[in-house]
């Protein structure tokens, strides 16, 4: 397997123009390195004075401008945006337009020192473990983790004020609202409270609220108790084991 590629060092504006235009036509991935200034106008607006950066243009319209440091692009436009390039005197103007919401990124290259286009083949997808989705699935497979006698009635139950992660009944027939979080903070308690308050108006009998999480920020457990809610701590390490269908002992979690 070989990536098709074209690379130019210290290209003239004209050369860069041609490389980018052809790459855009062919749906290739474009990398540019050079001295450029950036203007952004959209949901917010921003100006970035000239500096040497890496500009990354993908075939799905994604535009990323990366500085020398930092995790995140300093400017960007998301997939679906449309890029155009044109030359004005010795300057090269790369403009990316997003329609909804309307957002515009304009890059002015004073100098390009590297231009490359690449035809990437990649059909693989990331397999991610340890997400909240997995926590919920674990609880469905092992409802006893919520409590002995707990029965799941519905997963992702939509309400006027948001979606309840798990909703079911305890051994006594009381409604139980379960909110699942990887990291439980005050916000999670508020979320739970919102759902419990709502169901109290609609369901007869008691409505209990349970927050299940792998981690709790300080004070959250106390707040839960103050609100009359309960909590369960899950051990994330053990979850994959449970997922694999190997019936493990509950004390493992």
**CB of 37: closest distance to a second copy in angstroms?**
8
**CB of 245: closest distance to DNA in angstroms?**
21
Answer yes or no whether residue 72 interacts with DNA by CB under 7 A. Answer: yes
Answer yes or no whether residue 51 interacts with a second copy by CB under 8 A. Answer: yes
**Residues within window 149-178 making contact with DNA, judged by CB under 7 A:** 156, 158, 161-163, 165
Answer yes or no whether residue 99 interacts with a second copy by CB under 8 A. Answer: no
Segment contacting a second copy (CB under 8 A): 1-9, 87-95, 143-151, 205-213?
A: 1-9
Q: Which of 26, 47, 144, 235 binds a second copy (CB under 8 A)?
A: 47
Give the C-alpha separation, 225 to 245, whole Å.
33
Give the C-alpha separation, 60 to 27, whole Å.
8
Give the C-alpha separation, 135 to 132, whole Å.
5
Q: Is the dihedral of CA 144, 147, 148, 150 positive or negative?
A: negative
105 touches, from a second copy, DNA, none (C-beta below 5 to 8 Å by class)? DNA
Q: What angle do CA 58, 64, 70 make, to 5 degrees?
A: 140
**CB of 26: closest distance to a second copy in angstroms?**
12
Answer yes or no whether residue 68 interacts with DNA by CB under 7 A. Answer: no
Q: Which of 37, 42, 143, 236 binds DNA (CB under 7 A)?
A: 42
Q: CB–CB of 148/133 below 8 Å? A: no
Is residue 202 helix, strand or coil? helix
Q: CB–CB of 150/169 below 8 Å? A: yes
Binding letters toward DNA, positions 174-213, x by CB under 7 A: -----x-xxx-xxx---x--x-------------------
Q: List phi, psi (to 5°) of 135.
A: -60, -45
Give the C-alpha separation, 182 to 192, whole Å.
14
Bridge partners of residue 177, in order along the sequence: 167, 209
CA atoms within 13 A on the CB side of 196: 22
Q: Which residues bind a second copy (CB under 8 A)?
A: 1-3, 5, 7, 9, 29, 31, 33-35, 37, 43-54, 56, 58-60, 62, 64, 66-71, 74-76, 78-79, 111, 113-114, 116, 118, 120-131, 160-162, 186-187, 190-191, 194, 219
């Amino acid at each position: 397997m070989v990536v098709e590629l074209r690379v130019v060092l210290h290209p003239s504006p004209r050369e860069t123009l041609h490389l980018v235009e052809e790459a855009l036509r062919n749906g290739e991935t474009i990398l540019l390195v050079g001295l450029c200034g950036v203007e952004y106008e959209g949901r917010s607006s921003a100006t970035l004075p000239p500096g040497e950066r890496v500009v990354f243009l993908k075939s799905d319209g994604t535009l990323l401008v990366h500085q020398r440091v930092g995790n995140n692009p300093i400017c960007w436009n998301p997939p679906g945006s449309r890029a155009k390039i044109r030359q004005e005197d010795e300057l090269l103007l790369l403009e990316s337009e997003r329609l909804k919401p309307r957002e515009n990124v304009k890059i002015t290259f004073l100098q390009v020192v590297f231009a490359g286009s690449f035809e990437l083949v990649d059909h693989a997808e990331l397999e991610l473990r340890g997400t909240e989705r997995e926590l919920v699935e674990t609880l469905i497979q092992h409802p006893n983790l919520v409590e002995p006698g707990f029965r799941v009635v519905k997963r992702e139950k939509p309400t006027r004020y948001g979606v309840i992660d798990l909703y079911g009944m305890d051994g006594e027939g009381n409604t139980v609202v379960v909110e699942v979080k990887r990291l439980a903070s005050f916000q999670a308690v508020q979320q739970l409270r919102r759902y419990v308050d709502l169901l109290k108006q609609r369901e007869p009998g008691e409505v209990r609220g349970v927050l299940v999480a792998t981690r709790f920020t300080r004070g959250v457990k106390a707040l839960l108790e103050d609100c009359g809610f309960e909590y369960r701590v899950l051990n994330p390490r053990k979850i994959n084991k449970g997922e694999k269908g190997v019936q493990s002992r509950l004390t493992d979690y």
